[in-house]
Chains A and B, each alone.
Chain A
Amino acid sequence: MIEIRDLHKSFGSLEVLKGIDFGVERGEVVCVIGPSGSGKSTLLRCINLLEQPTSGKVRIGDDEVTDPDVDIDAIRRRIGMVFQQFNLFPHLTVTENVTIAQRRVLRRSRSEAERVAAENLARVGLADKAQAYPAQLSGGQQQRAAIARALAMGPELMLFDEPTSSLDPEIVGDVLAVMRGLAQDGMTMIVVTHEMSFAREVADRVVFMDDGVILEEGPAERVIGSPVQDRTRRFLARVLDPAAAELS
């Protein structure tokens, strides 16, 4: 469904992606892990062109995202994105957050958009917060509202950019539960995350990135459970047991 060939991205003289080849099948859940600064988020943002790749190709279905003649707005409609900072629209209620793009982009009627919004808010467990403003919600609720907003567009693919990294540890579980449900429903997902247990449990495949390249990829159990690369092993040791890594 997604095919990425020799993707490079530089910010000025800093090369963040140094030739990525990567593919995702329909219905697959891929978790991208790696140290910060390794290019995980940039890779994700190149897929829906929030960052313009310096070179290389990105294909989604039959569309070449990197083709300058392509209608990127039309492609983005089919890709949901969830951000680390939620990025809910603070001047709109939760329902309006979920309906605005349906109405303005998909041209759905108000009643149709609100029906879809109610459905998706129920799906993420926020039916009772439909009329609240983002500032009145906890971080975990905001992130679930952001997921509902993306889902309401009926995406073929969901991109998650460290969706739980700015949440209190005790509410991370709510967001992960919603994501787990999505995966079970067969949604194609790419998740940049530091939640190793989530990756292990939900991901069909785990990709380890370091310094702008994919160092290792494979089934979650193998990459996380018994990594081949020394660099992956060191990273996982530190992430899975920070205290122990400190001592060694």
Chain B
Amino acid sequence: MVRHEARVGRRLTRRRRGQLVRAGQYTLLAAAVLALALLANWERIGEAFFDVDVIRELFPEIITVALKNTVLYTLCAFAFGLVLGLVIALMRLSPVAAYRALAIVYIEFFRGVPALLVLIGFGYGIPIALNTELPGGTLGTITVALGLVAAAYMAETFRAGIQAVPKGQMEAARSLGMSHGRALVSIVIPQAFRIILPPLTNELVLLTKDSSLVYLLGVTLPTRELAKFGRDSLNQYVSMTPILIAGLAYLIITVPLGYVVRRLEAQQAKAR
């Protein structure tokens, strides 16, 4: 009796209620799109964001200089961070307590401070304090500074990956007479690498964007990368277009990487 009253009192069935909610949401979306299409000054927006003349001016430098430099800075910092990160991860897992402590201090420090501050430190702080500059100019400085920061993150990723390799792998390698180091290099690290490929690729995406921090170092025309190039062109042409195009250029790098990450993750899910 009570149950019957409850049914009547609700009046709307669950299905009916869902239909109404969805209809409301679609109506709202359609109204917003319509308002935007009718009310916005499309001519003005087109000029500001997608000025074809400006776009023509941006090429080919945006590719041959800016995109090239972004990729170059990113890859150099990534390679540096990868090697250092592996070393720190092995220190973190070392039986020698002093190495473990050093690795923890390193990771906490470089994960905790902003990449911006590290870059300023290497770009200006060290040159002033020691009256010397890092070799390799802009490229050298950004490789080391961003690489040091990336190494802290990658060290933790490596550690997790190495620890995720089943203990039996190390035991099997040792029982065949391999030394601990040989077993790590030939058996454990290659497997850890597979496990951490997705997070490592993510790190590469993050680094691609962080490479824009190079503007802090005061770059010259041939060392400009995408963000700085876009900003300079913004001033030059007084147009939003270069920023938009620079943004799209980042997406050319990061979207395929994101796709690769999803593919790798799906593959691993299948392998398990």
Contact = CB atoms under 8 A, between A and B. Distances in A.
Interface of A: 48, 50, 73-74, 76-77, 79-81, 83, 85, 87-91, 100-101, 104-106, 135, 146, 149-150, 153
A105 B176 contact: yes
A74 to B, nearest CB: 7
A81 B177 contact: no
Given A104-B182, A135-B271, A87 B177 contact: no
Contacts, number: 61
B175 A91 contact: no
Contact of B168 (A77, A85, A100, A150): A85
A50 B171 contact: yes
Contact of A73 (B169, B177, B186): B177
Nearest to B175: A81
A188 B4 CA distance: 80
Contacts of A73: 174, 177-179
A74 B177 CA distance: 6
B187 to A, nearest CB: 6
Contacts of A83: 168, 171-172
18 contacts: A48-B175, A50-B174, A76-B174, A77-B176, A79-B175, A87-B166, A88-B172, A89-B169, A89-B172, A89-B191, A91-B191, A100-B186, A104-B178, A104-B182, A104-B186, A105-B177, A106-B177, A149-B176
B194 interface: yes
Contacts of B179: 73
Question: A-B pairs with the 10 shortest C-beta distances?
Answer: A77-B177, A87-B172, A101-B176, A81-B175, A87-B168, A105-B177, A76-B177, A73-B177, A91-B190, A85-B168
Interface of B: 166, 168-169, 171-179, 182, 186-187, 190-191, 194, 271
A90 B271 CA distance: 11
Contacts of A74: 177
B171 A101 contact: no
Nearest to B167: A87
Given A50-B174, A73-B178, A91-B191, 17 more contacts: A50-B175, A73-B179, A77-B177, A80-B175, A83-B172, A87-B166, A87-B172, A88-B172, A89-B169, A90-B191, A100-B187, A101-B173, A101-B178, A104-B178, A105-B176, A106-B177, A153-B177
